Amino acid sequence: MKKLLIKNIGILATPLGSSARGGEAQGAVQMTKNAWVLAEDGVIAQVGEGTPPAAADAQVLDAGGNLVTPGLVDAHTHLIFGGWRQNELGLKLHGKSYLEIQNAGGGIQSTTNATRLASVEELARKAERALDEMMSFGTTTCEAKSGYGLAAEHELKALQVIRDLDRRHPMDIAATFMGAHLVPAEYKERREEYVRLVCEEMLPLVREQGIAKFCDVFCEADTFTVEESRRILEAGKRYGLTPKIHADEIEAIGGSQLAGEVGAISAEHLIVCPQEGIDSMAKGGTVACLLPATSFYLGADFAPAKQFQQAGVPVAMATDFNPGSCPCLNIQLVINLGCLKYRFTPEEVLTAVTLNAAAAIGMADKVGTVEPGKQADLVLWDAPDLDYICYRMGSNLVRQVIKKGSPV
């Protein structure tokens, strides 16, 4: 049996349980001083306070009196894409909006062109580097979407890359099919045909290959309407995929209401989410997955995080890593913004990037807290306490990442 003992933990900060925490409970983080954690075969076996057990056969890591938390969970990334879009920075500086750039053939369409040209090997190499970087910042589990293929062949290519990386990279990856990220240029005048292609051709293939867990739609003005999104998410359900939805990022066209109605596991962005959307999500048991680094990067408003909390909706926070609206892999920046822009406490933010994020990708029974029975995914920080990692900005404060009981 492979054992790992982490001793001399100054503070072990972790939420508890295996389901999302909303309202006041979001801030209920257990802080244990002078703690230790024993992992056996990749799983947390014991957590204690004071003198650690004598474990002669264990590898021992000394946390040096520092903070330890669960491994962080990045519940929203567009990991697989060809090229980058640095050319759009100049356009933005000249006043072009996100949707203007998209409608002029930039944005998602230009990344789609590059992704279609990229080979499986190229996409895998690039995504692997991104995963390495994410892990260096403390992320031990993530979600990854397709959505830059927008044709059966290329959507499946992206999902295959995700599946292969999940198998060979230490990161656990939950795969999301997002064939409805944009109506691609060749279907511009035939959008109904594209919606049918997603529902009747792509989804059956995704199901057949058992290659995704979630189905996501970009429900937005100029992308997919509420009715199209509903059709796609309902079709996804029939093929065994749990709904997720990009809603209310730019215009409130009804995406968050739809999230609750279709029982989406999470709704993402929600920058301009109206109260009806919040209420619908509360009723539907949907996690609000907020993406503050995207708001920052777009120069947009920040989602009404406190209103979700007041309604008891659990809040998760994630990077939204993608080549357009948020080319950022560092979830520590999300932690900073979660406090400074959403006004969440460090405890509430920790829950947002661990337990609630795990719940947003259906993995809260396995990751997101430090408790016996959970996977031994932990971060040893170069920080004395939780406040410190929320307060410092721009440095990588990770000292050691532990994945399935092994130092990475």
Binding region for Fe ion (CB under 5 A):
320
CA dist 58 and 44 (Å) reads 13
Q: Is 242 an interacting residue with respect to ligand NIG (CB under 6 A)?
A: no
Pick 176 or 354: Cβ nearer Fe ion: 176
Q: Taking CB within 5 to 8 Å according to partner kind, which of Fe ion, ligand NIG, none is near residue 400?
A: none
Residue nearest to ligand NIG (CB): 324
The minimum distance between CB 134 and Fe ion, in angstroms, equals: 15
Q: Taking CB within 5 to 8 Å according to partner kind, which of ligand NIG, Fe ion, none is near residue 284?
A: none
CA 56 from chain centre, in angstroms, equals 38
Pick 78 or 403: Cβ nearer Fe ion: 78
Is the Cβ–Cβ distance between 263 and 245 less than 8 Å?
no
**CA count, 13 A, side-chain hemisphere, 74:** 33
Structural tokens at position 240:
């065994």
* Contact with ligand NIG (CB under 6 A) among 137, 218, 308, 381: 218
Residue nearest to Fe ion (CB): 320
The minimum distance between CB 383 and Fe ion, in angstroms, equals: 29
Pick 208 or 301: Cβ nearer ligand NIG: 301
Q: Taking CB within 5 to 8 Å according to partner kind, which of ligand NIG, Fe ion, none is near residue 323?
A: ligand NIG
Q: Which of these, 310, 368, 342, lies nearest to 72 by C-alpha position?
A: 368
* Contact with ligand NIG (CB under 6 A) among 323, 338, 346, 405: 323
Pick 244 or 246: Cβ nearer ligand NIG: 246
CA dist 246 and 105 (Å) reads 21
CA dist 16 and 46 (Å) reads 14
Pick 74 or 320: Cβ nearer Fe ion: 320
* Contact with ligand NIG (CB under 6 A) among 322, 330, 336, 375: 322
Burial grade of 136 (CB within 10 A; 0-12, 13-18, 19 or more): middle
The minimum distance between CB 319 and ligand NIG, in angstroms, equals: 10
* Side chain identity at residue 397, one-letter code: L
Q: Which string of x and - marks every residue 78-97 that binds ligand NIG (by CB under 6 A)? A: x-------------------
Q: Taking CB within 5 to 8 Å according to partner kind, which of ligand NIG, Fe ion, none is near residue 231?
A: none
* Side chain identity at residue 363, one-letter code: M
Structural tokens at position 38:
């024993």
Query: Under rule CB under 6 A, which residues in 94-133 are in contact with ligand NIG?
Result: 107-108, 111
Q: Taking CB within 5 to 8 Å according to partner kind, which of ligand NIG, Fe ion, none is near residue 249?
A: ligand NIG
* Contact with ligand NIG (CB under 6 A) among 155, 249, 347, 348: 249
State the number of binding residues for ligand NIG (CB under 6 A).
13
Cβ neighbour number for residue 280 with a 10 Å cutoff: 23
CA dist 334 and 266 (Å) reads 18
Q: Taking CB within 5 to 8 Å according to partner kind, which of ligand NIG, Fe ion, none is near residue 294?
A: ligand NIG
Pick 155 or 320: Cβ nearer Fe ion: 320
Contacts with ligand NIG by CB under 6 A lie at: 78, 107-108, 111, 218, 246, 249, 294, 320, 322-325
